[in-house]
Amino acid sequence: MMSEIYNTFPVPDDKIVSDHVPLCGACRYLKKRREDAMKYCNTLIAVKDMPASLKFYRELFGLEVAVDLGWCKALTCGLTLQEHFDEIAGFPAETMKYRSNTMELYFETEDFDGFVSLLDSFPTVERLHEPRTYPWLQRGIHIFDPDGHLIEVSESMYAVACREFQKGAGPEETAKLIQHPVAVVQAWFEKYQGLKKNDLTVCGTDCGACSCYGTMCTGCNACQGKVFHAPEGKACPIYECAVEGKGLKNCGECGMLPCEIWMSTRDPRYSDEEFADSVNQRIQALKK
Ligand code: SF4
Ligand code: SF4
Ligand code: SF4
């Protein structure tokens, strides 16, 4: 009976009795739910070996324990790990199904390639499949945690949209490609365009052409050289030297260009030839 009443929620206003009439438990509950919406708090997963689970979520996801209740630990994202779940929930341990394929923990990252590289250094982490691209152009991978809980890690849809913007697609075309509402993609486009202004950097790099731009990096000017690959809290050596050290707008105003700092600030993926090209192109951009 109670479940039937709950299933009728939301109840039309004229069915909620007034405060002057004594309310039965179900009506009080429904009234309270109207006044103070039910809150979704977190997802709790049963774990057999807390240290192993903590290590997994710390090292691969950068999560820490936010609330420590012994058998129960809430991580910084709200995900909660629970030991002895059978005793607490009240069912036999042998009936617990750890490898469900009907739900997943879903994580997003702006740096999907970085996550996959990190994952490569954990060969014992089981993968359901290798990275793949969904029809809405988002790349993702499914893996299992130490207890067999299914986890999806995908790139954020904003990052997916930015990739299309970088190729020259407008918001409507991007919305179609990534199968998202135009209004949402329009807002992302405006954010992306806002970031793109003033995007020639101190060293002549065009942030607008960088795959990290707008997602994992706000651009050199916006973050004042404190890019994710610089030492924590510090600006990159070129930015530090030109702007903070010499008070210049950019290295184009410096007679030492290209200096030792330029030569030692190099993307390790570049070959010697590619790096020389990059230096020349940046010098040309600064001299325009
Ligand atoms: S190398 Fe340094 S100065 Fe150049 S774009 Fe990157 S962070 Fe900015
Ligand atoms: S600062 Fe460097 S990493 Fe960031 S968007 Fe610009 S080029 Fe890319
Ligand atoms: S010394 Fe190098 S890094 Fe510093 S301002 Fe001159 S060219 Fe730029």
Whether 239 lines ligand 1, by a CB cut-off of 6 Å, is: yes
- Please check the confidence at residue 5 and state whether its pLDDT lies above 50: no
**Binning pLDDT at 50, 70 and 90, where does residue 198 land?**
low
Whether 238 lines ligand 1, by a CB cut-off of 6 Å, is: yes
Whether 227 lines ligand 1, by a CB cut-off of 6 Å, is: yes
Q: CB-side exposure of 151: number of CA atoms within 13 Å?
A: 21
**Claim: this prediction has a pTM higher than 0.85:** no
C-alpha 279/C-alpha 276 separation (Å) is 5
Q: Whose CA is nearest to atom 7 of ligand 1?
A: 225
| Tens of pLDDT, residues 120-174 | 999 999 999 999 999 999 999 999 999 999 999 999 999 899 889 888 899 999 9
Other C-beta atoms lying within 10 Å of the C-beta of residue 180 = 19
pLDDT the model gives residue 33:
67
Q: Whose CA is nearest to atom 8 of ligand 1?
A: 220
Whether 203 lines ligand 1, by a CB cut-off of 6 Å, is: yes
| Mean predicted confidence (pLDDT) in 218-246 | 87
230 contacts: CB under 8 Å, gap ≥ 6? 236
| Tens of pLDDT, residues 257-270 | 889 999 998 888 88
pLDDT the model gives residue 279:
93
pLDDT > 70 in the chain, percent: 88
pLDDT > 90 in the chain, percent: 53
Ligand 3, atom nearest to 259 Cα: 2
Set out the domains of the chain in order of their start, with CATH numbers.
2-35 (no CATH), 44-155 (3.10.180.10), 198-288 (no CATH)
Whether 230 lines ligand 2, by a CB cut-off of 6 Å, is: no
pLDDT the model gives residue 1:
36
Which H or E run contains 285?
helix 272-287
